Amino acid sequence: MKNFVDLKDIHALAPNFKKRLSGVTSTIVHLVPKQEKLGVKIAAIGPGLPDYLTHVKFRQIWKLWQLPNDGKYRVWHARRNVEMLPGIIMRDLLRMKIKVIFTSDAQRQHRKYTKWLISKMDHVISGSQKAGSFLDRKSTIIHHGVDLERFVPSPDKAKERSELKLNPDQKLVGCFGRVRHQKGTDLFVEMMIKVLPSHPDWTAIITGRVTAEHIGFADKLKARVKDAGLEDKIIFAGEVDEIEKWFRVLDLYIAPQRNEGFGLTPLEAAACTVPSVATDVGAFSELIVNDKTGIVVAVEDLDALCHQADKYMSDEALLKTSGKNAREYVTENFSLEKEATAINAVYETVRNT
């Protein structure tokens, strides 16, 4: 049963108007409780979110004509076009007492309609410097953070590997996320076909959902692995629960994307003391310190991906040092608490103007 509260007691709303699980949905799920814990009276509104989140019902929307108890404007924090437009309508046409904020992670030129929506925002947050560079207006840069209580180093990798029915004696290199061309899953497979024969003590793990339109893509990858005789060395684990357990058992993470909005996985790996080899998409170049916490290479540069993976897989001391550096770096710069605190500060500024 959902945890519904009265809108009159809420100062900020996080709308979620798409049922499909996505990075935006995940952001709301993890951020709202942290923002609440840090003092903001915030609630989610919309479908597709877990019951334990604080929610308000759509039938309470009329209360947005009233100011909350502290006499300041409420915040409507949109993360998609479909959430920006209702915010504009409620504020400008219905004259409801709200301020509308948008978070942008897209690293591309926005369409005219999206640009118009963004121009109507009271404030814009960008998830990275790159994302901010594609906006025609000033934005506040707030990097996404990772839950450092959920993503933690493994106290016993061999034991945790056994619990996941993996070989406890093999080192693991992983590629996690939806299985599709955009995510570069095929590049990871080609990397492993080239690199693994030189590293008999390593196994590759692929996790992630395969949606209906990408089943053919996934089947071709599995056939490619079979033809290479590496079915026992490149494992397709499918969609898994508790992804943090899979990050904890890794020794190296690969993020070979061709396109990405932000990309949290290198941070999640780093929090588990796992360095990353990633392509220069999304915010990866802002999340990874080259030759300290991992390495960033050019997009679709298979040779560079293979070379860097081989370098880390050949040097256990480098893995350990980079992993330790990664955990320290993410703890200092990319905690979920730091993101929530920064967003709460934006709310307070906007509500007072």
How many whole angstroms separate alpha carbon 291 and alpha carbon 82? 40
Candidate CATH numbers 2.10.109.10, 3.30.830.10, 3.40.50.10480, 3.40.50.2000; the one for domain 3-145+336-351: 3.40.50.2000
| Chain segment 166-219, per-residue pLDDT in tens | 999 999 999 999 999 999 999 999 999 999 999 999 999 999 999 999 999 999
- Is-same-fold flag (3-145+336-351; 157-333)? yes
How many whole angstroms separate alpha carbon 36 and alpha carbon 18? 22
Residue with tokens 């995940």: 26
Is 50 within 8 Å of 29 (Cβ atoms)?
Answer: yes
Is 90 within 8 Å of 28 (Cβ atoms)?
Answer: no
Confidence band for 21, pLDDT divided at 50, 70 and 90: low
Beta bridge partners of 334: none
Percent of the chain as helix, strand, coil, to the nearest 5: 45, 20, 40
List the chain domain ranges: 3-145+336-351, 157-333
Q: What is the pTM of this model?
A: 0.90
Rounded to the nearest 10 degrees, the angle between the axes of helix 185-195 and helix 302-313 is 50
Kindly write down the DSSP assignment for every residue of 274-298, as one continuous string: --EEEES-TTHHHH--BTTTEEEE-
| Chain segment 309-353, per-residue pLDDT in tens | 999 999 999 999 999 999 999 999 999 999 999 999 999 999 998
| Chain segment 151-162, per-residue pLDDT in tens | 999 999 999 999
How many whole angstroms separate alpha carbon 350 and alpha carbon 182? 36
| Chain segment 250-297, per-residue pLDDT in tens | 999 999 999 988 889 999 999 999 999 999 998 999 999 999 999 999
**Domain range 157-333, CATH class:** alpha beta
**What residues contact 12, with CB distance under 8 A and at least 6 apart?**
35, 40, 41, 42, 43, 74, 75, 76, 77, 347
Q: What is the mean pLDDT of the chain?
A: 95
Question: 3-state SS of 97-147?
Answer: CEEEEEEECCCCCCCHHHHHHHHCCCEEEECCHHHHHCCCCCCEECCCCEC
